[in-house]
Structures are given as structure tokens and as C-alpha cells.
């Protein structure tokens, strides 16, 4: 087999994952690669988890602070959470074991906008990064690195860490080389320059990650696939959400508010986002572009069919079946996909300039258009804000979508007041459920509440929501509270409180 480690000095640092893991110490801040289950180290984290378990068994303390690009996989977050090996995790996770530990109060979690992470580290806001553990597809003779299936924060981890551990994964095709675009022009304020990108496919950097070879303390070889990110076939609710969006896009084109080929699409994680992209593949739009952070099956299908011309992302997060299609046709996809650092894929300046259509999932929205993307019943974290805030705040049109109910209809995803706010009413323009689409642009709060109830709420909850706003407005008219954003403060969160005791939001 062709060697993927061409730099002689780095080849001399080859060792086992267990030996490499022992170079990480209790209390270290460790920056690992990985973004939505793509391009994460596969062996060192598991070896580290074993090492931590041994230390715990010997009565010793051993916990690290773990920083990543975004969510990873059971071999990383799962393994470290299982042994209680993290005292702090940032910026986005979706692992069930990790989530359970956070919600049980056994580890800390700092949920940061994905575009902020790299610069927070450059600014020194998060303290020193001790070790970077980065998966790559190969190492060139001069020590430059061929990135793997995600870029995430790797550039920053390699720059900022004192020590670097590389995992060279032979499972990734070497033909990935050339797909990435690593921009090294970002300066700190007050020396910042405009990011020189004016269209979604523009290349402004280099295909390789730079790394000072003298910092590399270990190189580990692996040959393992990324997590299989499975998507369920679109159900009735997601098909209806997608269909409302298709009608909306057509209306906007007709009104001259969107060009015929739309504007670059950002699409969030999960099944609904994926279903919307699948619908676009059956729809009338051509010449589409993607400017997103996670490229899922649905977007790859759009590229394959030719409906989408190109897509920019920071990660390729595919089901194993679609990953095979991607790997088998890399020459085709390399011409059409650009993988960037997440501080660029999610950069507010670029998002605003390109004018994205941002489409993200949510847990719940309230009558006035505030959105909760992260918390169940106000207290338990689901995943994290991820990039949704980067995109929602700066997009041309910001869309949030969800089925109108959750947990078999016992929860309304439209509530009087959200139990946690991630996206305020100021960043939310369109709300879509399978019931319909509410276009909130330019509407005042009392106009919004009526429209959201009429268009988006489930019939089981409509009467109670209408009753709530009518009584809140009546209270305002009788001098109890204002009439700009009417609320019944004693009742605003009573639906959530009821669910916590009866597992049903519906009034008895
Ligand atoms: O939980 O599987 O235990 O039943 O939430 O819900 O309907 O499968 O939706 O996969 O699209 O995820 C907001 C979580 C939606 C996601 C969220 C429960 C529901 C289920 C998932 P179960 P669905 P999706 C770019 C953008 C934040 C980050 C983001 C997310 C589970 O979209 O993490 O947007 N977004 N990043 O039962 C209680 C409610 C609920 C509820 C749903 N109202 N109350 N539980 N659920 N609504 C990508 C990145 O940033 C990386």
C-alpha cells in the first residue's frame, strides 16, 4: 500500500493509539477533530477512555476538557462520557451518553455558536489548548496535511495546541485531496480584513492544513469509516413541511424577492432538513447552490442530479450507502464541493453577503416567534445551538421547522412562551410545521401570534392557544400588563410544568 505519511520526521513518530493516549494528561484541554460524525479521530479517544478508566480504577482523578468542531460519534463522545472522562465539553454534542451525563449534572457543557469557537480560542477566552488530536487523510512530504471528511476547527487546534497527535485514516480516499479550502487570512481585531469571498463556490485558501512538525508528539494509523449517519425516509409530516416550503419559495420567486435559482441554501441537521432537500430534488428549481455547515444525503442527491451546481460545507455527514456513492465519484464531487473551516462556513460576514436561505430544526416556538432549539422542558439539553444561530441571525431568510407536536401528540411545539430561547423573535422570519407556514416578516407581536396559531399549531392545541392569547390581550386591556407582547405571566410556562407532572401538555 502507498504510504500516507510522506514526511520522514512524522513517520518516525508512529505509535499505537494506547501509547499516544498516554501522552494526554489529567486536566488537559484537548481539541479533537470531528463535525457531525465526520472526520473525528477513531482510535485515540477510545484508547484515552481505557487509560482514564484505569486511572479511575487506581483511585486517581482524570478528566479532560474536550473541544471539537461539533458532534462526533460513540467512539469519541460516547467512549469518553461513559468513563466519566470529561469535566467540560464544548461546543456541540448529540451523543446520548454525553447528553445524559450533562443533564445529570456530572459534567459541564458550554454551548457556543459554532462560528465563535475558533476566535474565542485565538482571543484566549477559553484558556490554553494543550493537545490537538486530528484525523487526516494523509501527510505530505513537507508536513502539510490532507484533511479528512470535515475541517471544523482543525486549523485552529493545530495552530493553538502545544502538542499534536495525528490519526492518519487509510479508510478515507486520498482523492479527497483538493476538495478543501483552508483560509489562513483571518486576523484578530483590530487588524481584520474583509473575507474575500463573493460567491459560495469561491476558493480563497489552500487545500492543506499547516502543522508545525516539531509539535507532533504521535502519529497513529487507522483504517475505519466515519459514523453511519442514517436518515429515516421522509414521513408524512416532513413531506408536508417540505411542500409548504416549496410553495413559499415559488411565491417568493414570483414576487421577485428570490432569484429563479434561489439563493445559497443552508440546511441543518436531522431528518426534516434532509427531507426538504429531497423535495427540492423533485421540485422545479435548478442551478441551486449550497452554503452550509453539514452536507447530508439530501444535498449530495441534489449535486448528483445536477439540480445543485455546487455546495460549500465544513463536513460531509452521510449514510454509509451514500458515502459509497461519494467515494466512488470523488472526481465529480471534488469539482462541486468545497470544505472550509467552520469559522468560514459559519461566518456572519459571508452569510450576510451571500444572502443565505437558512433552514433549521427546532424544539419549540412560541406565539411571538421566539425559538428554542436546544432544551427539552427548559432544563434538559438536547444537542446544542450548533450553527443555527450563526445562520439565523445573518441569513437573507431565516426559516425554522418542526412537526407541530412531539412525543405522540402529547407536546405542542407551539407554546405560549418558549421554555428556553436560542433564537429571538428578531432572528426568526418563517415558521413551518406540517400544518402550514407562517411568514412573520414585518409583523408586530400580536399579528404574529394569530398567524402562528392559525398556520402552524396542531388542531388539538389551537383552541387552548387562542384562549391564551385572547385572555392575555384582555388582561392587557384591563390594565394588567402591556398590549405589545401580551402574556399571562402566571400561565406562560404552565404547559411545560403540566407536562413535567402528567407527561401531557394538554389540559385535563
Ligand atoms: O426526541 O427521538 O427522543 O423522540 O427532539 O426531534 O423531530 O427527530 O427532529 O432530528 O430535526 O431535531 C432541534 C433537536 C430537531 C435539531 C433538533 C424531541 C423529539 C426527538 C428530535 P426522541 P426530531 P430533528 C446546523 C444547525 C440545533 C442545532 C442546529 C437540533 C428529538 O434540529 O439539534 O439547528 N438543532 N444546527 O421527540 C420535547 C419538544 C420537542 C421534543 C422535538 N417540543 N419537546 N421534545 N422533541 N420537539 C447543524 C449543526 O449545528 C451541527
Inform me whether the pLDDT recorded for 2 exceeds 70. Answer: no
| pLDDT, average across residues 284-300 | 96
| pLDDT, average across residues 257-270 | 95
Cβ-based neighbour number of residue 464 at 10 Å: 16
Q: Which pLDDT score is estimated for 1?
A: 52
274 confidence band (pLDDT: 50, 70, 90): confident
Q: Which residues does a 6 A CB cutoff place in the pocket of ligand 1?
A: 36, 70, 92, 114, 268-272, 293-294, 360-364, 373, 376, 382-383, 385-388, 403, 406-407, 411, 413
* CB distance 50 to 18 below 8 Å: yes
| pLDDT, average across residues 67-73 | 98
CA–CA separation, 404 vs 254, rounded Å?
A: 28
Q: Would you put residue 178 in left (φ > 0), alpha (ψ -120 to 50) or beta?
A: left
Which stretch of 48-57, 228-237, 317-326, 438-447 has the lowest confidence by average pLDDT? 228-237
The Å distance, Cα 467 to ligand 1 centre, comes to 28
The Å distance, Cα 136 to ligand 1 centre, comes to 30
Are β-strands 430-433 and 436-439 bridged in parallel, bridged antiparallel, or unpaired? Answer: antiparallel
230 confidence band (pLDDT: 50, 70, 90): confident
Q: Which residues, listed in sequence order, are joined to residue 315 by a DSSP beta bridge?
A: 150, 294
Q: Is 293 tagged catalytic?
A: yes
465 confidence band (pLDDT: 50, 70, 90): very high
pLDDT digits (tens, 9 = 90+) for 339-359: 999 999 999 999 999 999 999
Residue nearest to atom 24 of ligand 1 (CA): 270
CA–CA separation, 415 vs 401, rounded Å?
A: 14
pLDDT digits (tens, 9 = 90+) for 111-150: 999 999 999 999 999 999 999 999 999 999 999 999 999 9
The string of DSSP letters for 144-205 reads -EEE-SB-TTHHHHHHH-SEEEEEEETTS-GGGTTSB-B------TTS-------STT---S
Cβ-based neighbours of 55, under 8 Å, separated by 6 or more = 26, 61, 62
Residue holding cell 421547522? 401
- Active-site annotation holder among 293, 364, 425, 434: 293
Terminus-to-terminus CA distance in the chain, angstroms? 68
| pLDDT, average across residues 282-291 | 96
Q: Quote the crossing angle between the two packed helices 236-254 and 271-282, to the nearest 10°.
A: 50
Rounded to two decimals, the pTM is 0.97
The Å distance, Cα 231 to ligand 1 centre, comes to 13
Amino acid at each position: 500500500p502507498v504510504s500516507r505519511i510522506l514526511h520522514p520526521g512524522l513517520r518516525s513518530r508512529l505509535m499505537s493509539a494506547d501509547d499516544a493516549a498516554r501522552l494526554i494528561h489529567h486536566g488537559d484541554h484537548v481539541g479533537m477533530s470531528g463535525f457531525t460524525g465526520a472526520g473525528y479521530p477513531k482510535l485515540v479517544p477510545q484508547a484515552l477512555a481505557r487509560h482514564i478508566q484505569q486511572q479511575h480504577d487506581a483511585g486517581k482523578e482524570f478528566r479532560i476538557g474536550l473541544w471539537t468542531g461539533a458532534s462526533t460519534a460513540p467512539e469519541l463522545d460516547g467512549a469518553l462520557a461513559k468513563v466519566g472522562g470529561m469535566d467540560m465539553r464544548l461546543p456541540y454534542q448529540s451523543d446520548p451518553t454525553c447528553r445524559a451525563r450533562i443533564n445529570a449534572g456530572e459534567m459541564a457543557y458550554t454551548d457556543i455558536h459554532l462560528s465563535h469557537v475558533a476566535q474565542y480560542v485565538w482571543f484566549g477566552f477559553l484558556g490554553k489548548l494543550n493537545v490537538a488530536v486530528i484525523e487526516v487523510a494523509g501527510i505530505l512530504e513537507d508536513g502539510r496535511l490532507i484533511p479528512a471528511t470535515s475541517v471544523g476547527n482543525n486549523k485552529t487546534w493545530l495552530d493553538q495546541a502545544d502538542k499534536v497527535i495525528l490519526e492518519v485514516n487509510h479508510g478515507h480516499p486520498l482523492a479527497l485531496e483538493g476538495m478543501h479550502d483552508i483560509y489562513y487570512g483571518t486576523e484578530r481585531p483590530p487588524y481584520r480584513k474583509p473575507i474575500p469571498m463573493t460567491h459560495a463556490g469561491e476558493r480563497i485558501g489552500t487545500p492543506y492544513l499547516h502543522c508545525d512538525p516539531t509539535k507532533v508528539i504521535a502519529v497513529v494509523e487507522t483504517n475505519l469509516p466515519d459514523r453511519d449517519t442514517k436518515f429515516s425516509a421522509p414521513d408524512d409530516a416532513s413531506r408536508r413541511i417540505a411542500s409548504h416550503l416549496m410553495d413559499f419559495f415559488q411565491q417568493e420567486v414570483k414576487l421577485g424577492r428570490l432569484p429563479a435559482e434561489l439563493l445559497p441554501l443552508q440546511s441543518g441537521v436531522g431528518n426534516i432538513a434532509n427531507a426538504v432537500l429531497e423535495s427540492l430534488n423533485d421540485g422545479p428549481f435548478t442551478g441551486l447552490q449550497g452554503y452550509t455547515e453539514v452536507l447530508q444525503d439530501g444535498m449530495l442527491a441534489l449535486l448528483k442530479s445536477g439540480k445543485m451546481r455546487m455546495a460549500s460545507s465544513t463536513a460531509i455527514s452521510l449514510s454509509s450507502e451514500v458515502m459509497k456513492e461519494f467515494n466512488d465519484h470523488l472526481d465529480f464531487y471534488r469539482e462541486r464541493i468545497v470544505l472550509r473551516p467552520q469559522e468560514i462556513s459559519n461566518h456572519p460576514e459571508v452569510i450576510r453577503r451571500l444572502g443565505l436561505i437558512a433552514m433549521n430544526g427546532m424544539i419549540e416556538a412560541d406565539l411571538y416567534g421566539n425559538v428554542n432549539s436546544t432544551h427539552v422542558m427548559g432544563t434538559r439539553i438536547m444537542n446544542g445551538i450548533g450553527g443555527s444561530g450563526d445562520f439565523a441571525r445573518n441569513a437573507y431568510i431565516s426559516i425554522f421547522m418542526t412537526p407541530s407536536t412531539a412525543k405522540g401528540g402529547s407536546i405542542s411545539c407551539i407554546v405560549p412562551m418558549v421554555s428556553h430561547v436560542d433564537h429571538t423573535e428578531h432572528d426568526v422570519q418563517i415558521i413551518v410545521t406540517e400544518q402550514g407556514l407562517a411568514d412573520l416578516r414585518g409583523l408586530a407581536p400580536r399579528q404574529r401570534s394569530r398567524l402562528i396559531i392559525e398556520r402552524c399549531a396542531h388542531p388539538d392545541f389551537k383552541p387552548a392557544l387562542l384562549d391564551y392569547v385572547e385572555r392575555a390581550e384582555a388582561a392587557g386591556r384591563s390594565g394588567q400588563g402591556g398590549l405589545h407582547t401580551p402574556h399571562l405571566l402566571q400561565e406562560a410556562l404552565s404547559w411545560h410544568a403540566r407536562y413535567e407532572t402528567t407527561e401531557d401538555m394538554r389540559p385535563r
